[in-house]
Amino acid sequence: GAVVSQHPSRVICKSGTSVKIECRSLDFQATTMFWYRQFPKQSLMLMATSNEGSKATYEQGVEKDKFLINHASLTLSTLTVTSAHPEDSSFYICSANDQGLAVQETQYFGPGTRLLVL
Amino acid sequence: GNSVTQMEGPVTLSEEAFLTINCTYTATGYPSLFWYVQYPGEGLQLLLKATKADDKGSNKGFEATYRKETTSFHLEKGSVQVSDSAVYFCAPAGGFKTIFGAGTRLFVKA
Handedness of CA B57, B45, B73, A47 (dihedral sign): negative
Which among A42, A105, A111 has the least Cβ separation from residue B96? A105
Rounded Cα–Cα distance for residues B98 and A64 (Å): 20
Query: Per CB distance under 8 Å, which residues of A are interface residues toward B?
Result: 4, 6, 32, 34, 41-44, 46, 49, 93, 95, 97, 103-112
Which among B42, B44, B49 has the least Cβ separation from residue A103? B49
Residue A18 and residue A85 in contact, taking contact as beta carbons nearer than 8 Å:
no
Q: Which of the residues B98, B104, B105 would you substitute to probe the A interface, choosing the one with the greatest number of A C-beta atoms within 10 Å?
A: B98
Greatest Cα pair distance in chain B = 42
Task: With CA atoms as reference, report the closest residue to A113 among A95, A93, A96, A99.
Answer: A93
Tell me, what's the pLDDT at B43? 84
Which DSSP helix (H) or strand (E) runs through A63?
Answer: none
Tens digit of each residue's pLDDT, chain A (118 residues): 688 999 999 999 999 999 999 999 998 888 889 999 988 878 889 999 988 888 899 999 999 999 999 988 889 999 999 999 999 999 999 999 876 666 667 888 999 999 999 9
> What pLDDT band is residue B40 in, cutting at 50, 70 and 90?
confident
Average pLDDT across chain B, whole number: 92
A88: phi then psi, degrees, rounded to nearest 5: -85, -10
Tell me, what's the pLDDT at A101? 66
The pLDDT of B9-21, averaged and rounded, is: 96
